[in-house]
Structure 1
Amino acid sequence: FRRAAQALEGRDTLDIEACSLLIQAVAAGIGERGKGQRGDKTMLDVWLPAADAAAQAVAAAKSTAAFWADVTAAAENGASATRSMVATKGRAARVGERSLGHMDPGAASAVLIIRAMAQTLREG
């Protein structure tokens, strides 16, 4: 979130372009701090697809509602995809193969954050 604040410095509205920057900054900050990437069965499996969807929605000049629908769907799909992964990072890595079939807790919490953002900012 610190990285998101930096990305939004000087802006006084949260239009979809700003929201896209916010999501991309969160994804980048988490990736740098945790040295993770997509497929590690972490919250990055939510934030990175959400950031991609946000950038694509802005490029396509989608409405605010469509922007958040795309971002939320990408986040939910990313979280769901962690069920087919084996954890290699974070606390879940300790359970190794036993993590297969379960959604990553960090991914689940990231979806909750994105849903809350969408609910709050959709009416923007």
Structure 2
Amino acid sequence: MSDVEAWVREFARSVVAEAPRLTELDSAIGDADHGANLSRGLTAVVAALEDSSFPDDGALLKKVGMVLVSTVGGASGPLYGTFFLRAAGSIGDGFPAAFRAGVDGVAARGKAAPGDKTMLDTLVPAAEALAAGKDWAAVVDAADAGRDATIPLVARKGRASYLGERSAGHLDPGATSAALLVTAAAVTLGASG
């Protein structure tokens, strides 16, 4: 199993484990389905990995993206799907470049930026830390700080934006699942050097 496949599998494992918490966070400012939707999609991803072999990590990441787009409802399917599809095209340039490409894809797809109270509040600081050559602990710290910084924000994108000022004071569920993505990379890719 490649390090990249191990990363995807660890992300799936952590999302399934955290699905009730993600859904609870989403019930405060969204549709109360983030954990359930993402868990269903990543369970389908793991099943697809079991049933397939891939010539390289790019092909594997492309498959992950396509499965997520087709199985996850709401905004998180297209956004996470886009992340993996974009990362697939850049994985040959190394993990930091692939991660950045994925983040840029999410920003373009969601027409969002850091400060909008979305997964980008977690992903952008992580991508910047990776690009700067920081160690995995610093990358995770950057992601977690970005996630936690969503609490006071007023949402400007997604379902939470409909709440206006009432969205402040809540942790963003997408930023929280994105932190699991970063931690999964640290656990798997960090362990391999």
Normalised-by-shorter TM-score class: 0.7 to 0.9
Q: Which amino acid aligns with 2:160?
A: A
- The answer as to 2:78 corresponding to 1:2 is no
Query: How far has the Cα of 1:84 moved from its partner?
Result: 1.5
Query: How far has the Cα of 1:122 moved from its partner?
Result: 1.1
1:13-65 alpha-carbon deviations (Å, 9 max, x no partner): xxxxx2211221121010010111111000000111111111112xxxx5xxx
Q: 2:111 aligns with which of 10, 13, 35?
A: 35
The equivalent residue for 1:80 is 148
The equivalent residue for 2:166 is 98
In 1, the alpha carbon distance for the partners of 2:98 and 2:171 equals 25
Count of residues paired in the alignment: 109
Q: Which amino acid aligns with 1:4?
A: A
Q: Which amino acid aligns with 1:117?
A: A
- State how 1:57-76 maps to structure 2 within 5 Å: 57=133, 67-76=135-144
**Per the alignment, in what secondary structure is the counterpart of residue 92 of structure 1?**
helix
Uncovered stretches (5+) of structure 2, i.e. residues with no partner: 1-83
The equivalent residue for 2:131 is 55
Q: Which amino acid aligns with 1:42?
A: T
For the aligned residue pairs, the C-alpha RMSD in angstroms reads 1.2
In 1, the alpha carbon distance for the partners of 2:148 and 2:104 equals 21
Runs of 4+ in 1 over 3 A off after TM superposition: none
**8 Å contact 1:20–1:55 — kept in the other structure?**
yes
Q: In percent, how many aligned pairs have the same letter?
A: 49
Query: How far has the Cα of 1:121 moved from its partner?
Result: 1.0
In 2, the alpha carbon distance for the partners of 1:19 and 1:115 equals 14
Structure of higher RCO (CA pairs closer than 8 Å, 6+ residues apart): 1
Query: How far has the Cα of 1:94 moved from its partner?
Result: 1.5
Uncovered stretches (5+) of structure 1, i.e. residues with no partner: 12-17
| TM-score between both structures, scaled by the size of structure 1 | 0.83
**8 Å contact 1:26–1:47 — kept in the other structure?**
no
Q: Which amino acid aligns with 1:56?
A: A
In 1, the alpha carbon distance for the partners of 2:182 and 2:129 equals 12
Q: Which amino acid aligns with 2:116?
A: D
